[in-house]
Structure formats: structure tokens, C-alpha cells
Amino acid sequence: MADEKKQNLENKPVLPQPLPERKKNTLPNFFLSLKLKCVKLGYHYLVSNAMYLMLMPVLCAIFAHLSTFTVDELWNQFKFNFVTVVLSSTSIVFTATLYFMSRPRKVYLVDFSCYKPGPAHITSRELFMQLSAASEIFTEQSLAFQKKILEKSGYGEMTYAPKGLMRVPPDQSMAESWRESEMVMFGAIDDLLAKTRVKPRDIGILVVNSSLFNPTPSLSARVVNHYKLRGNILSYNLGGMGCSAGLISIDLAKDLLQVHPNSYALVVSTENISRNWYFGNDRSMLVTNCLFRMGAAAALLSNRTFDRRRSKYQLIRTVRTHKGADDKSFNCVLQREDLDTQRVGVSLSKDLMAIAGEALKTNITTLGPLVLPVSEQLLFFVTLVAKKIFKMKIKPYIPDFKLAFEHFCIHAGGRGVLDELEKNLELTEWHMEPSRMTLYRFGNTSSSSLWYELAYSEAKGRIKKGDRIWQIGFGSGFKCNSAVWRAIRAIDPAKEKNPWMDEIDDFPVRVPRVAPLVY
């Protein structure tokens, strides 16, 4: 039996064994990618410096021609053309004087400060859900929806909420709202004045922005009263302008500094959530409860020439885009009453991402030619001509904004917004890190979030002299605003005091990528 079995095994045909799969040779792909990068880099430098390359032969020819003259010959030329030389010199001096007198005043960011609430205000996701359940207003479906929003939001366990909303039942009184606003505003301003050593009475311009909380007297009047600012101060209070109001305030302060020489401008950006928390079950309005957290920032701008040496940044330009003429854009972020209980809240439209994308597209269409190198503008123009005029079926060229900016501060409005901008602008995780970590650590602090992001880059020691920073803000209306800064000096994190310093070594943290929630 054993012999028969052995014979059958010997007669069984041997099937051919598959060859081991060869590892794909990635070296050719690597060298091809490297070659393409080198070609693009070489093209960028060639086009960007084309003017200098063309001027060099002309200058060489001029110097070669002048070298053929002796000193006596040059002196004779000067004597015989004395009137021409005097008129030319006068014209040059006059033109130079007119240019320097008419050019815009330079605006410097002396310093800025972000408020960090105390441990008593820390609101973990678990505590948030406990407080929501304890209010006995939300249905089981609404509680489950809020829990999913928090899980997919990219938030950590250390965001901050006001004391009034941490009580059972919540305290949404005017007094509690005043306490929240004063705490965050005065905390940020006190820290800023201590860092800059500027006296309150030296401040000539004050701009305060808070979208939803607009009491009487205004928040700007409260700042004037608290710090005893001078009587002729130019004071402005911006309301109802959403999360992009911080950059609108910067733009307003910049314009005021053009016509008021030798001045300081104090810009305060905040939002109040105590009085604007939504206690209802409309899902489009519940999202804002999960996203907004407490915070504020204060920035000191100056047009004084001697302030340049101690300032951190110079404001290069601001670009504002307003899509409010379109009904969809106007209604995508709207404060209203819900249909069931007439409770007031802020609703977010499902079209928000698409509308934000269109607003950003319009904004960068204006900003791009002002900041992008010539090489990128030329590629964009050639692609546009090929697509529009010659009807070629090619993808539109997306300019490489990493050639124009070293750092990006994108409003931390939500994880979905950051994901879309990372994809559309082709940014790396390193570029997105300040925005994502701000969202994780502090949540959406509305118009002040951009300053928490810049503070993160400073705490990491990333800001070097000459670096360019692009701040992008989105807000109701719908608006997309940009501000471009250039670092005047390298920022030493060892000398900085900002809300990240005592925990910056714990960042970045890994935030899982999850699919957006549909509501």
C-alpha cells in the first residue's frame, strides 16, 4: 500500500512554481522626479532673474565705452554740457523726492499676543457631551450628532469654554457675556502692552472686532474706558463680519496709518460664545456649538520708522474678497431662528465648502500676480491662453504658492476646510501643521485663530529673517481675506512668550484623517 502511494506521488505531474515577484525599481522614477524638479527650479531662477541677465551685457558695454575716455575728456564733456547736467540732476532729485513723499507708509507689526485661558476653562469632548446632556434640551439624535461632529472635528481634549456655559443650567446673561469678553480681551492686551512696553495713551487708533456680541457701549468703548486711552483716539468697533473680521481690522488699521503719521494702532480680535450658544435641535445650527471655542488676540501696528528695528513683521499687502452679491454665498453662514422653537443660532449651509473654494479662487486670482514669481505667472498665462483661446484639453495650471510664501496661516474653521485647502494649494503637512495644531489645541477661536497659528510657528523657531507669511481668513458674507507679512528679523523662541511655549514640545500630534460628516 505504501509502495503504491509512493508510486502515485512520483507519477503526479509537478506544477510550475510562480517566479518570485520582482521588486519594482524605483530609482528611475526617483531620478526622473528629481530631474523634473531641477528643470522647474532652473526655469524659475532663469525667468525670475531674466532682467538682471539682460542688463549685464548693457552695463558691460557702457563701462567699456566709458573706459576709453580719459579724466580730462570727461571733465571737458561736463563743462560743455553744464546746463544739461544741472537740469538732469534737478529732475532726478525732484522725481526722487516726489516718489518718497507719495509712496505708502510702511506698516510694521511690533508684536502680538494671544490669550490662553486658565485650566478651569478646559472643556474635553467628554465634558462637552456631559454638559449638553445635562441641559435636557437636546434630543438623543442631536446628542449623537454632536458626538460625531466632535469625533471628526480634529479637536483635542484641551479646548476652552466660558464658565457660563459650564454651569447647569447654562448662564447666558449679559453680565456673564461681558465677563467672558473682558477676560479674553484684557488678558491679550495686558500681555501685549507688557511685551511692547507701549503706554496706553500713546495708542492713537483702536479697532475691535467681534461678530456676534455687540453690546452698548461697544467693546471698543470698554477698552478705551478700561485702559483710559486718550480722548482723540480713532476708535472702531466691527460687528457681524464673521471669522475673517480679524484681517478686515488689519486692513482698516493699515489704511488709517497711511493718513495718520507717527501713530500706533491696536487691533483686538475676539468672539463671544456665552450669549450665542444654540440650545435647539436644528443640525445645521448645532455644528457651530461643536466648533467654536473661547479665545482672543491683540496686535500692535506702527508706522513709525524707528519702530522697524524692534518690530517682528512688515505688512506687505492685504487683499479682500466679498461674495455677498451672490445669494448662496450670503446665506451659507446665517444667524437666524430655527423653525421649531424660534431659538436663535448660526446655521452652516451644506454648500459652505464649495462657496469657500470659489471665494478663495477669486482672492488668489487677485493676490497671485502681486506675490507670485514671474516664472509661475508665465506658466499660468500660457496654460490659460492654451485652454481658452486654442481650446486645448489640458488641466488648468495651479501656481506653486510655496515659491511665494514660506509659511501659511489658514483660518482653523474646521478640519474639512483645512483638508480642501491643503489639496487645492498642494501644501505639505509641514505647511498645514500650524493650522491643524491650532484647531486641535484651541479649536475654532474665530477671527483670532490666525494669530494662534503664527504664534505656533514662532514657538517652533520656524520664522527666519525675510520669511513671507500668508494669512487666509474666511467668514460670513461670504468673505475671503488675505494678509501678507514679511519677517523683519528671525524670531528666537527662547525669548518669546506665547500660549504655546510651555507645551510646544508636545506638538505636533497625529490627528486621524476621517471622512466628513454629512448632515
Residues of the chain with pLDDT > 90, as a percent, come to 64
At 190-230, the pLDDT tens digits run 999 999 999 999 999 999 999 999 999 999 999 999 999 99
Task: With beta carbons less than 8 A apart as the criterion, state whether 400 and 376 touch.
Answer: yes
Among 243, 290, 332, 480, which one carries the catalytic annotation?
A: 243
At 115-129, the pLDDT tens digits run 999 999 999 999 999
Q: Is the peptide bond before 217 cis (omega within 30 degrees of 0)?
A: yes
pLDDT over 90 (residue 46): no
pLDDT over 80 (residue 54): no
Of 3.40.50.1860, 3.40.50.300, 3.40.47.10, 3.30.379.10, the CATH number of 107-506 is 3.40.47.10
Give pLDDT, residue 23: 43
Is 226 an active-site residue?
Answer: no
Among 114, 121, 411, 431, which one carries the catalytic annotation?
A: 411
Among 303, 332, 407, 480, which one carries the catalytic annotation?
A: 407
At 172-182, the pLDDT tens digits run 999 999 999 99
Distance in angstroms (rounded) separating the CA atoms of residues 403 and 316: 16
Residue 369 is classified by DSSP as: H
Residue corresponding to grid cell 502692552: 193
Task: With beta carbons less than 8 A apart as the criterion, state whether 313 and 109 touch.
Answer: yes
Among 272, 276, 290, 322, which one carries the catalytic annotation?
A: 322
Is 44 an active-site residue?
Answer: no
Give pLDDT, residue 386: 80
Residue range 98-127: average pLDDT? 89
Give pLDDT, residue 11: 45
Domain edges within the chain: 107-506
Strands 313-322, 203-209: pairing kind:
unpaired
Estimate to the nearest angstrom the gap between the alpha carbon of 143 and the chain centroid: 32
- How far is residue 379 from each of residues 325, 372, 382, 391, 424, measured CA to CA in Å? 32, 11, 5, 17, 17
Residue range 62-83: average pLDDT? 65
Question: Which residues neighbour 211 within 8 Å (Cβ) at sequence distance 6 or greater?
Answer: 239, 240, 241, 242, 243, 245, 271, 446, 447, 475, 476
Residue range 448-458: average pLDDT? 98
pLDDT over 50 (residue 515): yes
pTM assigned to the model: 0.83
Q: Is the peptide bond before 78 cis (omega within 30 degrees of 0)?
A: no
pLDDT over 60 (residue 278): yes
Task: Select from 302, 164, 238 the least CA-distant residue to 447.
Answer: 238
Distance in angstroms (rounded) separating the CA atoms of residues 278 and 99: 54
pLDDT over 60 (residue 519): no
Predicted confidence band of residue 19 (pLDDT cuts 50, 70, 90): very low
Give pLDDT, residue 13: 40
pLDDT over 60 (residue 40): no
Give pLDDT, residue 93: 75
Is 411 an active-site residue?
Answer: yes
Of the ranges 68-72, 281-285, 342-346, 433-437, which is most confident?
433-437
pLDDT over 50 (residue 159): yes
Residue range 268-290: average pLDDT? 93
Predicted confidence band of residue 30 (pLDDT cuts 50, 70, 90): very low
Task: Select from 103, 101, 100, 109 the least CA-distant residue to 307.
Answer: 109
Task: With beta carbons less than 8 A apart as the criterion, state whether 443 and 291 touch.
Answer: yes
Distance in angstroms (rounded) separating the CA atoms of residues 460 and 500: 9
Among 444, 480, 481, 498, which one carries the catalytic annotation?
A: 444
